[in-house]
Amino acid sequence: MHPLSLILLLATTPDAAPPPMHLTIDMRAQADAADPVTACVASRLAPFVSPYGIQQAWPVMTHWPRKFLQVPGILLSDMGDIADGYQHSLHIDVDARAVYVVEQGGFAGTTKMYGPLPLSHCAGAPATPPVP
């Protein structure tokens, strides 16, 4: 996981120019701090995603769940330093106890959605509701 990095150049007088400031924003860490379920799911799935793509036999969806069509996911991994790499985002449906991973990238700019994957049994995740 490579955090998002920004380089800020500060405007100053020519005789006292400070070096550029390097600011690092770890978007996944921000999401993890806010939601323990997301943190748990992200840590469980992180070893299976990389800039080279997903190498697991996860089911590929032909139609996305409607509730996730216009919602950006939580960044799980980015392209790194690979020109044709992939980035992965995470969508969690706690009510359905399902997880979806969206893979985007490559030279052709493909997008795939993997899932539904089972929601990890993490601390903070609600228990499966009883069957009436």
Give the pLDDT confidence score for residue 68 in this predicted structure: 81
The structural domains of the chain, with segments of one domain joined by +, span 28-118
Give the pLDDT confidence score for residue 70 in this predicted structure: 78
Give the pLDDT confidence score for residue 18 in this predicted structure: 53
* Average pLDDT, 10 consecutive residues per value, the chain (132 residues): 43 53 42 73 93 92 83 89 91 91 91 91 55 49
Give the pLDDT confidence score for residue 41 in this predicted structure: 92
Give the pLDDT confidence score for residue 113 in this predicted structure: 93
Give the pLDDT confidence score for residue 65 in this predicted structure: 82
Give the pLDDT confidence score for residue 11 in this predicted structure: 47
Q: Which residues contact 31 (CB under 8 A, 6 or more apart)?
A: 38, 39, 42, 74, 75
Give the pLDDT confidence score for residue 72 in this predicted structure: 84
